Structure 1
Amino acid sequence: MRLTELPRTTGFRLALMFLVLFGTCSLLLFAFVYWQTVGYMAREQDGWLRRESANFSTLSPDDRQLRLREHTRGDPGGRRPFGEFDADGRWLAGNLASLPTELHATDQPINFSLFSADARTPFRGYATRLPNGHWLVVAQNVHEPREFEELMVRAMFGAGLLTLIFGFAGAVAVGVSSMRRIDAITLAIRRIVTGDLSERLPVESGGGDLNRLTHEVNGMLDNLERLVHEVKGVCDSIAHDLRTPLTRLLGGLERALRRATTPEEFRSSIADAIDEVSALLKTFNALLRISEIEAGARRAGFTQVSLSTVLADVVEFYQPLAEEKQLSLELVGGATPTEATLPGDPSLLFDAIGNLVDNAIKFTPPGGKVVVRLDGQHHLLSVTDNGPGILPSERKAVLNRFHRSEPSRSTPGNGLGLSLVAVIAHLHDMKVDITDAAPGCCVSLSWPEANSTTP
């Protein structure tokens, strides 16, 4: 983290922007308060001066001079000097020694100063022309109001300075925190770029927009890691599962090349090679179909599908195979009133349920029973057999591509049947559950109530 990059951080710039905005608003507020306070004090002073001047002006000359002498005795410090002067400005009465020349030229209260041996004292005064031509001057010491005004200015300046200092410090803190967070995220991204898909962006406590973003990115990384591992697993499984048939194919062709001498022997070797290639093509076609379904393109063609109709078609299609293996294939709940419909692709649903029935028939011993059940009211369909079942530790893994449980190793297949079922179920917002039928296995598909309608 370099401090030279601090001014370029968004957090620092935003904090400075709000500091400038807050400082400007505070300055305007302080100016308004100062203007209102000083104006109010000046209006109060001027109002008092005018009232006192009016009171003295209405008195007779003798009464006025008597009141001025009383006022002088009551104001020994001269904080509110009053005085009466003749037309030439000579003092007649009061504790104001001389007539301020500034008061001659205006009929409004004005500021003036009186000088003594050691000080200059500010006053605000008002002069009135009496009927006899004399001047009446009423004044008030404004030293304390001036000090209060200066105190307000100093307080506002100090508050503004502290606001700038703490605001700038806060902007720096926000910028540094943002830089540290970005540095941590950048470091994590660099690790991810180098191939460490287990790395995740750091998430701090307290929430915030950046935390929301990192949560979403981490979720994306979880899916990416899962997909990469799935692709790696698929590649490994393809390499492992295709090696055996390719080895058999190569061995058969080499034997035919070395040993076959008659057309019948060549035809037999070619037929075996065709069978091996056909099995490989079926595997690749299944993989391509799974990828196509995962892409979600088939969702655009969804229509309302009657599950009872699909189940009846599946049972009818696999009935001959079940009879050939001496198995009982039974459909339960496939007719109204428990009939359920949901949006979907009928051919894909047929394939998914057909794969489940095919697996059940494949692994159920002769004399066994396969039951296809539809419970529309509980949004559930299941295929149950009484074969060897699936170990609890493998019930999740069998939904992965090319995975085959131990009892099925000796049975023909490519390990993609249940993977295809899982992909089709996901496309239809269904959940796949594998449970123990004691004995045997029960594979059920359930779907949310919002997707289903039951007549």
Structure 2
Amino acid sequence: MRHFRFLQNTPLKLALIFSGLFLCASLVTGFSIYEIMRWEMMRHHSKAVGELYTSIAGNKADDDTDFLDTVQANIRAAHGHDRVILATKADGSILAGNIPRIDLPDGWSTIPAYKIGLHGRRKYLLMAGTVRGDRLIVGQSYQDIDKLEAIAAAGFGWTSLIVIVLAFIGGSLIGRRAQRRFRAVQDTMDRISKGDLAARLPLLGRGDDIDQLSAHINGALRQLEATVEGMRQVSADIAHDLKTPLNRLRITIDEARRELGHDDEASLAIAAAAAEIEQVNQTFDALLRISQLEAGTRRRRFKLLDLDAILRETADLYDGTLEEMQGSLSLDLKAQGCMIAGDRELLIQLWCNLIENAIRHGPAGTRMRITTSRSLDDLVVAMEDNGPGIPPEEREKVFRRLYRLERSRSTPGTGLGLSLVNAIAELHDAPIRLEDAEPGLRVVIRFPVARSDSVPDTSLREEAASER
């Protein structure tokens, strides 16, 4: 399908459409003019032959000598064999003429030159009849008509070519003009999707349908910006108003634990309450972090990164933990040198969440494997484990906030780990897919390989290279 992507180009499509329409119009118009012109020339040709026949036959009625003189005079006046005349007696003997004897029925006939003893490919329109017992054949070639038709065809061809070229150029200019406006709309929507809700569609002030549509969209964007900003403010207020008393409560509980000691039941109950408060704080932190990621503001911190180096660094963090639980994490990294545009801190958190999720829900001695590979313009990362996996009907649901599988409700967690993973992946324009590893779960993420313009500062390539 990549071979036909050029057909998706709006200027090219408009140019082709304009060219096709003008070509069809030219063909219809040209064919109509050609047929009318040809019919008129044939009518004029037939009239000339008929008038010549009548003129010669009229002299036969007056006198045989005048008849033959008229035949000879017309033969001498003819240019070559453009005009043919033959007069014969009833027995077939030739009285006068410039062609051999030929038998034709009375009336009109069209015959090629070779049938009347002439060379060439031209054809003749002949009229034959009997005049006072003698036969008279008068004719004229179609050579002049053929020349005019050739000239008309050449003129029509050149005219059609010029029309097509002008139509293609006009369609391209109109298409490019439209594409510039659509590209401006697309660029604005890209900025909005990356969290810049203050972006607006450009208005040219022409009052056309695109300007009217852009004005309506800008109005909706203003409302959206106000709504999102209000939600962010509410979230910040909630975080401030609720987290502050929760932190104070935890400090109070910690002081109570120190006063009571660590042995009695009251101290254990207070410790459990402190753990619950910590869980609530972590939930608030995760929810606020997800909201910030979905707003897209962290894109401004993107740099060129070597994802293989980040994966090796993340795996090193869990060497001790996996050794204690007799688990393993193997790496098969085959995309060295492939750079992506991203936030290093968030990418480390993404892989930490996936690894901890596999450890938390997997069996003792969990085995994990992470592979990287290059696929066209994507860097594909796949992580497999030997845990219980996720049923197919639940795989989309686990990315929801606070959603937990029924069998996981007895294990610690907030139900936000995979939600945060999904938010980080979306921030990096990296589709994420859950598959069956038979047994276990396979998480596949496709990161777009960074282009030269993926980040504002291309000098960050050196920084990324030093991190490797």
Establish whether TM, by shorter chain, passes 0.5: no
Greater Rg over alpha carbons, structure: 1
Under TM normalisation by the shorter chain, which class is it?
0.3 to 0.5
Q: When the two structures are superposed, what TM-score results if normalisation uses the length of structure 1? A: 0.44
Q: When the two structures are superposed, what TM-score results if normalisation uses the length of structure 2? A: 0.42
